[in-house]
Chain A
Amino acid sequence: MAKINNVYAIFYVVCCVFLLWLGMVSSGYSMGLRSFVALPIEKDGAVIRFVYEHVKASDTASENSEHLIANVAYGLSAKQTLLLGLPYRLSPSDSDQQGDLSVLYRDIVWQNDRFSGTDRLGLLAGVITPTESDRDAAVQAGFVFTHFKNRNEIDVDVLYQAGMKERKNSARYDVSWQFRLLPSERADWGLTPELNSVLELSGRWLEGSRWFEGYSTVHQLTVGLQWVHQKWVLEGGIAKDISNGHESRYIMSTRFHF
Chain B
Amino acid sequence: MAAAGGSDDTFIRIRNVSKLFGDFVAVDDVSLDIRRNELFSILGGSGCGKTTLLRMLAGFEAPSSGSIEIDGVDVTRQPPYERPVNMMFQSYAVFPHMTVEKNIAYGLIKDKVSKAEIASRVDEMLGLVQLENYRTRKPDQLSGGQSQRVALARALIKRPKVLLLDEPLAALDKKLRERTQFELMNIQYELGITFIVVTHDQEEAMTLSTRIAVMDQGRFRQVGTPKEVYEFPQNRFVADFVGTINIFAGTVVEIGDDTISVACDETGTTLTALGQHPVEKGQNVTIAVRPEKIFIGKDEPENVFDVSLKGVVDDLGYLGNRSLYRIRLPSGKIVQVSSQNRRRSVQRFLEWEDQVWLSWRPRSAAVLVD
The answer to whether A and B assemble together is no
Report which A residues bind B (CB closer than 8 A): none
